[in-house]
Amino acid sequence: MNKPAWLAGIVSIATALSSGAAFAAQPTPWQTDLQPAATGIMHEIRWFEEYTLWFLIPIVLLVLALLVYVIMRYNKRSNPTPSRTSHNTMIEIIWTVGPVLILLFFAVPSFQLLTAQYTPEGEPELTIKATGYQWYWGYEYQGDEGEDVSFDALLLREEDRADYGKEDKAVYPRLLAVDNEIVVPVDTTVRLLVTAGDVLHSWAMPAFGVKMDAVPGRLNETWFRVEEEGIYYGQCSELCGKDHAFMPIAVRAVSREQYDGWLAAARDDVGAANRDLMAAIDAQRQLASAE
């Protein structure tokens, strides 16, 4: 007997959390809420979403109650002689002033959040350029003396899982895993430069609260600061052609020491650096679980 989809989703999450590879945030079956926040900006976005519900739910219930009342009170059977009232000054004042005040309560925290999204926490310590192509992403790590590391990140094909050591689909899910993840250190302000080499794309990472359009001939800028180690998944969020659905984004957040070791090795061989990093993470987790 097949397990329900929701039960399979819970099992896959539990498996990922207990496995040797790092796990952070990815879509889950029957998910209705936002992904867990991995950055300060995403924490603010989650707060704002919950804050607006305190206004939206009463408004919806009020409108529903008014509709039901009007239907019951002013239908032809209950009110055979229609009212000829043309206006009511007090009602017009209420439905003008009320929405204005509600919009003000929305506007103030909304503008604060927008300001925070475009104001990095201190000077960026790392700059990565992401270029969208049909249908993959190219990345360039830009150091003080220019480009240090560059690679492409393509959708991980099922037949290539063993070659990359990514057989665990709970950690490296189908249609989201890539051959080469972006590697960043935690607690580090990362500047992300986003552009495209052909058509419009969009670099989106839900757990980071980041979504930036990639426009040919234009360089857009955003930033993020990951709080916890693990792998985070996103996707291209701008319809860009027939393989738009097969253009995932994966970010692996690691400690500063692991990142420094990866960066030094990646200058010579990105693939080997990724394998060494995965082996180090697995060994670290096995040691932690043994203790």
Return the domain boundaries, the chain.
40-78+87-117, 126-290
Confidence of residue 76 (pLDDT cuts 50, 70, 90): confident
Confidence of residue 23 (pLDDT cuts 50, 70, 90): low
Single-letter amino acid code for the residue at 220: N
Which homologous superfamily does the CATH classification assign to the domain defined by 126-290?
Cupredoxins -  blue copper proteins (2.60.40.420)
Confidence of residue 21 (pLDDT cuts 50, 70, 90): very low
What does the mean pLDDT of the chain come to? 88
Min mean pLDDT across 54-58, 118-122, 190-194, 260-264 is at: 118-122
Confidence of residue 276 (pLDDT cuts 50, 70, 90): very high
Q: What's the rounded Cα separation, in Å, for the pair 141 and 192?
A: 10
Q: What's the rounded Cα separation, in Å, for the pair 104 and 117?
A: 20
| Percent of residues, the chain, with pLDDT higher than 90 | 70
Section 110-136 average pLDDT: 93
Coil, helix or strand at residue 37: coil
pLDDT tens digit sequence for 128-167: 999 999 999 999 998 755 458 999 999 999 999 999 999 9
Tokens at 160, concatenated: 């290539």
Residue 82: pLDDT over 70:
yes
Tokens at 20, concatenated: 């040797």
Q: What's the rounded Cα separation, in Å, for the pair 184 and 76?
A: 67
- pTM for the model: 0.82
Residue 215: pLDDT over 70:
yes
Min mean pLDDT across 38-47, 139-148, 245-254 is at: 139-148
